[in-house]
Amino acid sequence: MDVKSRNYLLMNRQALEKDIKTSYIMDHMISDEVLTLQEEERVKQQNTQKERAAMLINIILTKDNNSYRSFYNALLHEGYSDLAALLQEGIPAISSGNRKSSMDGMTSYVKRVLCEGGVPQRPVVFVTRPELVDAIKQKLCCLGSDPGWVTVYGMAGCGKTVLTAEALRDHHLLEGYFPGGVHWVSVGKQDKAGLLIKLQNLCSRLEHDSTLSLRPPLNIEEAKDRLRLLMLRKYHRSLLILDDIWDSWVLKAFDNQCQVLITSRDRSVTDAVAGNKYEVHVESGLAHEKGLEILSLFVNMKISELPEQANCLVRECKGSPLVISLIGALLRDFPSRWEYYLKQLQNKQFKRIRKSSSYDYEAVDEAMSISVEQLNDNYKDYYKDLSILPKDVKVPTKVLCILWDMETEEVEDILQEFVNKSLLFCDRNGKSFHYYLHDLQLDFLTEKNRNQLQELHKNIVNQYKKYYKLNTPVPSQEDCMYWYNFLAYHMAGANMQKELRDLMFSLDWIKAKTELVGPAHLIHEYVEYSSILDQKGSTVRENFQEFLSLNGHLLGRQPFPDIIQLGLCQPETSEVYQQAKLHAQRETGTFYLEWINKTSLKNLYRLVVRPHRDAVYHACFSKDRQRIASCGADKTLQVFKAESGERLLEINAHDDEILCCAFSADGEFVATCSADKKVKIWNSRTGQCRRVYEEHSEQVNCCQFNNRSGPYLLATCSNDTFVKIWDLNKKYCRNTMMGHENSVNHCRFSPDDEYVASCSTDGTVKLWGVRSANELKSIEIKDFFRNVDEQPDDVEVLVKCCSWSRNGDMILVVAKNKLLLFDVKTWDLLTQVIMSHHSTIQYCDFCPDDELVAVALSHCSVELWNIKSLSKVAYCRGHMSWVHCVAFSPDGSLFLTSSDDQTIRIWETKKVCKSSDAVLKSELDVVFHNDEVMILAIYNQKHLQLINGNTDSVVTQTAAQESPISCCCLSEDLTFAAFGQESGTIKVLQLLDGKVLKSREAYKTSVQHCQFTSDYQTLISSAHDSVIQVWNWQLDECVFLRGHKEAIKDFRLLENSKLLSWSFDGTVKVWNITTGNTEKDFACHGGTVLSCAVSPDGSKFSSTSADKTAKIWSFQSSSVLHELKGHEACVRCCTFSHNNKLLATGDDKGEIRIWDMLTGALVHFCSPVTVDEGEPTHGGWVTDLSFSPDSKMLVSSGGYLKWWNVNTGESLQTFYTNGTNLKSIHVSPNFNVYVTVDNLGILYVLQKM
């Protein structure tokens, strides 16, 4: 160190030791790399402040000139300007040059310029934000050699000062644009006296090597003149930096035709000065990863080693560099306080996050409140009103116009004042403005105005009611979405219990809101505000929540369903049903249907969501059970709330179908794998992609994280025959397990993470060591599949999946229709369960209690089995297509299922286990008798039930038959019933006592149809062959109708002992059932004839075919009258209108056409106006049609039931059944009662209201 510098330190030592606090000074010196951490430790070990200061000065005295300069600048920056002035004359001179410094790559020229100009050092912990630094440099270059202003603006603590200082660390910028140097002044909030001192100090600095010792300027004007002359004559082409400007009048003192950069919270602060102006907006949020990086540097740990609270802390800091740095500095001093500081932030205790850095304010709340205090009193009240704005929401101007009862222009002027001062942010959305607060500002406001929040919420609700009166906002209004999303939030905040109940229990509100935003947000509100909505002994809130939870998948679709009709399907004790009935009775012009036998139905699922636009291949719970991740054929990853279905994240994640997804043990990450051969890791909260692995060479079928927190490990398996283990901290695969000879379908870590089990199409299950990656065991699953001769079955055994017991002692393996349970230690087969031969197992999961196993089956259902007692404890129906996945929640209280039907269903395990599995087959017969609806149905495959549809009571039930029943029919007088069996047997029984009167082994294949003649003496039947049998069961005589070349599709009785039949051979025949002779033979179609109908006058019949045409024929001439073309799929059904003028046809595309019988012209094409992408028009095939007696209405069955206006072709009503694939609809003669069964075996008796 120069002797002069050393002497100045010794001369002023006493004053320095008396006043300085060393910790912040040392931060700067460590940043400048002139002080080591060991030296800092030596200083900290001293007992008193004075002793610590003395030790620091002793250390500086042993060092070089750089340490003196660093100490001087640290004093300036920390506010010790009077002490810095004592050392100013001792600053050692630096020789100019471009020699690179060995310390950090900055040239010595840059160091000297910044040091002499008083530019702050880098913080001890510095994380660069290159985009913003480059933006500041670019604006500085724009100044060129002309005078002007660059404003770097943003809210408190966003990093303006640090970024500006960093932009100046550029040799090219300083030498090329500001050869006169840079001069940094920390201004802050000042009165005139304070400003004069700042000006005097600046002039003194600029004159320090002048030969003349001038007296300090006596007033601001004199200081301004002296500064102008200095800048013009001595420091031409230099840059003046004014840090932290609050008031525009302050700038006028520096308005002297030079180049100035200012940092400010107020964007409009330069309005009062002249010259070119450029702006750089510093965004308020750091990326999550940058926040973690700052924390890791402060506490000297790798990001991967940070405790789990680190992620929560960064999230709570809302991306504010200031708050993250304050927390980091505190944690450096108190490394065990992660949980404490997290709680302080979560509880908005900003005062506790006190100064531990070089920032100008003592605590976070002080930094924010000082901005608010600068507003005039009137504006402070308006700003206080913003305390109740919801987080992360951009609020349209119109909302604040309603709140303040002002014109748009007045409101925008007030808000612009806040925006200019960085107290509010504005987003221009088309023609309108949307405003929002940074999370920290909102936290500060809510904390500051905590005692007034209820009144503020009440005010906004009252203003809304005053403005809209009894109306609701319509979608064309810009504020519409705000009120639908947040009116309930404001009512709850105001504790307006009655108003909130009136709103949330209104079907009108529910209809309007769900049409706009879907049901998930409403379900969330029922959960969130349950304490306000619930009244003692009342289940109203539960009624509405259940209604939305179970119908959410319908309410999110197009065309939007009639919510009144959905409400009428609720139990009669439900408030939803009561309201729906009142609405239905009031409404004119719309007809509604009462489901009169719905009392027997119990809903077993808790929530149904439809997050995807295509098949859902996989879904899983997070460990805390709060979230569900799902993926599928639409290539997206979805994350939503398990309670409400509210979407949290939607990511277009891959270029092909996503086959599997998995949460990490701590819920921080979600992994996805895809048919595009890639594995990706996502931040489960932000959606940021953390890793992409591309080492598999074929589609990746499964991904699973390890079960314990700690190092993140991921197992994946692929069609390339490999299982791979990945460490998320590394870019490449950690281990590859080779041994399978075909595609690997599934893999799972053992509960202790010691092993990975994998299942393959090669028929094996293998066990691998996670650490060694060695194959430890292989089981040939195909050995457990043997044919009747006890020889291994030749059919390929595809092992679908496996699941570990909670303790890791057992492993469950699925192949074909078997569940196999193995002991992991001995690999003995402990037990096996064989499912129905009609279905294959798609997936399985062990319940955490180790007793229950959930099994997803290809026939749309899920079964729960007790693996200890080998008994089926539940049969879960609800999905309309293949179920791909089933997964229990971590505590086993819930399980979810996902399906090709685009839905995910969440089930309550206990509720499901208590239910019965009674199922009706879709083949039934109905007699409408004296206002009674009598239904003959096949119950649980082997019983017949006669059900009174009006009372939903079983009149009679037969004993179990030896073979499953395949079809049935009733006599019109309800005396007899008949049924056919899969064994080919047909039986006639007496309904009164269920006694079988006659039986006949008629066929070798399953009986398909049976029907009594009008005298009930004869039973006509057909099976999977080409012969129709006419059996006089009382005389036990049979006539065989032989003539069709292929199997009979169906038949219909005509008058005068005639029968019409149609077949897969494309022909239609008319028979005399007495003689068995063919009377007419029609070669109708090139493909299968799928249906026929006879005109009311008996002169014509229609035929429809798989060849996509329908035809109208004359019985008399045996000729085709019209060929009806236009359908784009198989035409499956047809019916004539009662007035003999129209024919309706329905096809497999879900479309219905109405034709003029006389001309064959198309009269109407029945189709909804809008349908969701990929959604069939009628939810599937149109399977049956029926006209009303007046021929003005038409009812159709398919995926659900629809009623149509025949005159316009428009849809009048839709009834959504719980299941789908309705095979037929039975309609009463007066068109008031409708009966059908869905593919879940649920019976619907519907009555027109």
DSSP 86-102: HHHTTPPP-----PBPT
pLDDT band per the 50, 70, 90 thresholds, residue 119: confident
pLDDT band per the 50, 70, 90 thresholds, residue 131: confident
Which two tokens mark 33?
């790399």
- What's the mean pLDDT in 633-655? 92
pLDDT value for 504: 92
pLDDT value for 72: 84
- What's the mean pLDDT in 341-352? 68
pLDDT value for 793: 53
pLDDT band per the 50, 70, 90 thresholds, residue 359: very low
List, in order, residues 6 or more apart from 711 with CB less than 8 Å away: 304, 727, 728, 729
Least confident of 623-627, 648-652, 796-800, 813-817: 796-800
Task: Choose between 320 and 462: higher pLDDT.
Answer: 462
Does the N-terminal peptide bond of residue 217 adopt cis geometry, omega within 30 degrees of 0?
no
Compute the distance between CA of residue 583 and CA of residue 595 in angstroms, rounded to an integer.
Answer: 16
Task: Choose between 257 and 359: higher pLDDT.
Answer: 257
List, in order, residues 6 or more apart from 428 with CB less than 8 Å away: 434
**pLDDT tens digits, one per residue of 1028-1041:** 999 999 999 999 99
Which of 751, 752, 760, 756 minimizes the C-alpha distance to 770? 756
Is 311 in a helix, a strand, or coil? helix
pLDDT value for 632: 94
**pLDDT tens digits, one per residue of 1101-1117:** 999 999 999 999 999 99
Is 980 in a helix, a strand, or coil? strand
Compute the distance between CA of residue 172 and CA of residue 106 in angstroms, rounded to an integer.
Answer: 11
Contact 1146, 1133 (CB under 8 A): yes
pLDDT value for 201: 79
Distance of CA 961 to the CA centre of its chain: 49
Contact 543, 537 (CB under 8 A): no
Is 1002 in a helix, a strand, or coil? coil
Q: What percent of the chain has pLDDT over 90?
A: 41
- What's the mean pLDDT in 269-280? 86
pLDDT band per the 50, 70, 90 thresholds, residue 124: low
Contact 1182, 1150 (CB under 8 A): yes
Which two tokens mark 767?
């066990």
pTM over 0.75: no
Query: Which residue bears the tokens 């056409």?
Result: 1153
- Radius of gyration of the CA atoms of the chain, in A: 40
Which two tokens mark 993?
């006592």
- What's the mean pLDDT in 383-400? 88
pLDDT band per the 50, 70, 90 thresholds, residue 187: confident
- Residue 245 falls in which region: left (phi positive, over 0), alpha (psi -120 to 50) or beta: beta
Angle at 888 between CA 882 and CA 890, to 5 degrees: 155
Which of 313-322, 871-880, 988-997 reaches the highest mean pLDDT? 988-997
Compute the distance between CA of residue 744 and CA of residue 1246 in angstroms, rounded to an integer.
Answer: 49
> Is residue 211 predicted with pLDDT exceeding 80?
no
> Is residue 1202 predicted with pLDDT exceeding 90?
yes
Q: Where are the alpha helices (DSSP H) in 95-231?
A: 108-116, 130-143, 160-167, 171-177, 192-206, 220-229
pLDDT value for 1188: 95
Which of 79, 92, 110 minimizes the C-alpha distance to 201? 79
Contact 621, 889 (CB under 8 A): yes
Task: Choose between 838 and 857: higher pLDDT.
Answer: 857
Compute the distance between CA of residue 71 and CA of residue 26 in angstroms, rounded to an integer.
Answer: 8
pLDDT value for 1219: 79
> Is residue 1088 predicted with pLDDT exceeding 60?
yes
Is 351 in a helix, a strand, or coil? helix
Task: Choose between 787 and 59: higher pLDDT.
Answer: 59
Compute the distance between CA of residue 701 and CA of residue 1177 in angstroms, rounded to an integer.
Answer: 32
List, in order, residues 6 or more apart from 948 with CB less than 8 Å away: 932, 933, 934, 935, 954, 955
Is 197 in a helix, a strand, or coil? helix
Compute the distance between CA of residue 717 and CA of residue 699 in angstroms, rounded to an integer.
Answer: 9
> Is residue 330 predicted with pLDDT exceeding 70?
yes
> Is residue 744 predicted with pLDDT exceeding 50?
yes
Mean pLDDT for the chain? 86
Compute the distance between CA of residue 896 and CA of residue 885 in angstroms, rounded to an integer.
Answer: 8
Least confident of 621-635, 1064-1078, 1205-1219: 1205-1219
Query: Which residue bears the tokens 């002249």?
Result: 274
Tell me the sheet residues that pair with 627: 641
pLDDT band per the 50, 70, 90 thresholds, residue 653: very high
Contact 700, 677 (CB under 8 A): yes
Task: Choose between 93 and 1240: higher pLDDT.
Answer: 1240
pLDDT band per the 50, 70, 90 thresholds, residue 210: low
- What's the mean pLDDT in 75-95? 76
Cα dist from 137 to 132, 171, 413, whole Å:
9, 12, 32
List, in order, residues 6 or more apart from 1232 with CB less than 8 Å away: 1247, 1248
**pLDDT tens digits, one per residue of 1042-1051:** 999 999 999 9
Compute the distance between CA of residue 643 and CA of residue 520 in angstroms, rounded to an integer.
Answer: 9
> Is residue 45 predicted with pLDDT exceeding 70?
yes
pLDDT value for 1193: 94
Least confident of 485-494, 868-877, 981-990: 868-877
pLDDT band per the 50, 70, 90 thresholds, residue 941: confident
How deeply is 1201 buried, as exposed, middle or buried, from its count of CB atoms within 10 A (0-12, 13-18, 19+)?
buried
Give kind and range of the element (H or E) at residue 746.
Answer: strand 744-749
**pLDDT tens digits, one per residue of 994-1026:** 899 999 999 999 999 999 999 999 999 999 999
Task: Choose between 605 and 506: higher pLDDT.
Answer: 506
Kindly give the pairing relationship between strand 239-245 and strand 259-264.
parallel
pLDDT value for 99: 37
Contact 827, 757 (CB under 8 A): no
List, in order, residues 6 or more apart from 1060 with CB less than 8 Å away: 1051, 1052, 1053, 1054, 1068, 1069, 1070, 1071, 1092, 1094, 1101
Task: Choose between 943 and 859: higher pLDDT.
Answer: 943
Contact 896, 906 (CB under 8 A): yes
Query: One-letter amino acid identity for 456?
Result: L
> Is residue 103 predicted with pLDDT exceeding 60?
no
Query: One-letter amino acid identity for 59?
Result: I
pLDDT band per the 50, 70, 90 thresholds, residue 1175: low
**pLDDT tens digits, one per residue of 778-816:** 998 888 876 544 445 556 788 889 999 988 899 999 988
Give kind and range of the element (H or E) at residue 244.
Answer: strand 239-245
pLDDT band per the 50, 70, 90 thresholds, residue 105: very low
Angle at 161 between CA 354 and CA 321, to 5 degrees: 50
- What's the mean pLDDT in 489-502? 93
pLDDT value for 370: 65
- What's the mean pLDDT in 707-723? 90
- What's the mean pLDDT in 583-591? 86
Compute the distance between CA of residue 486 and CA of residue 435 in angstroms, rounded to an integer.
Answer: 15
Compute the distance between CA of residue 789 and CA of residue 774 in angstroms, rounded to an integer.
Answer: 37
**pLDDT tens digits, one per residue of 23-43:** 878 877 887 778 888 888 888
pLDDT band per the 50, 70, 90 thresholds, residue 863: confident
| Sheet with strand 932-939: strands edge to edge | 920-929, 932-939, 943-948, 953-957
Cα dist from 756 to 693, 694, 708, 736, 781, whole Å:
19, 21, 14, 12, 17
**pLDDT tens digits, one per residue of 220-233:** 888 888 888 888 77
> Is residue 9 predicted with pLDDT exceeding 90?
no
